[in-house]
Homo-oligomer: A and B are copies of this chain.
Amino acid sequence: MLGSRHIKHCRACGTLVEYRVPSEDNRERAVCGGCGTVHYENPLNVVGTLPVWEDQVLLCKRNIEPRYGLWTLPAGFMEIGETTEAGALRETDEEAGARVELQGLFTLLNVVRVSQVHFFYRARLLDTTFNPGYETIEARLFREDEVPWEQLAFRTVRETLHRYFDDRRRGQFGVHFADIV
């Protein structure tokens, strides 16, 4: 949807916009012919956690589109007025109803096709009582050999889980950067 000329009207005055390159710019923007407002569109951040309990990781079965019924790490769009860490904690609470302690950024993934940047933090679960919200059918723990690899909702989730189990085998957790094309 982003970048596909989905802005039709000016947010300030309601006039129909035109798509053109403003002066002193080099990209096409939605520009209001009435009041001159330039409407910028930019990538979005998705923030979440990889919650761990002993040798298990927490996954959530999605109760919403896209990818209804598939498994994900708790994550969602970062909101105005919060840090990436605060957003990751909020999503973990909203989607899994899980209490965690963050243990640092683990993966930072550019998803260019949809213009998103995904941040996943390693997180230590403080208990195993989960109380997922309406976005989640079920939240449960998986050992590595139980992870439903063929039923994961997003490539960034798969990438984050693979890197986690690899690092765990090595006994050292890094920060990982990758582009998902």
Contact = CB atoms under 8 A, between A and B. Distances in A.
Interface stretch (A79-87, A124-132, A146-154): A79-87
Nearest to A94: B26
A170 interface: no
A17 to B, nearest CB: 8
22 contacts: A6-B12, A7-B11, A8-B11, A9-B9, A9-B10, A9-B11, A11-B39, A14-B15, A14-B16, A24-B134, A26-B94, A40-B77, A42-B79, A42-B80, A43-B78, A43-B79, A81-B112, A81-B115, A85-B110, A104-B177, A105-B108, A108-B108
Contacts of A108: 84, 105, 108
A112 B115 CA distance: 21
A3 B80 contact: yes
Nearest to A13: B9
A44 interface: yes
Mostly, the A contact residues are loop
A54 B134 CA distance: 55
Contacts of A11: 6-9, 11, 39
Interface residues of A, number: 44
A21 interface: no
Residue with the greatest number of chain B CB neighbours at <10 A, chosen from A3, A78, A83: A83
Interface in A7-65: 7-16, 24, 26-27, 39-45
Given A9-B10, A43-B45, A117-B45, A83 B112 contact: yes
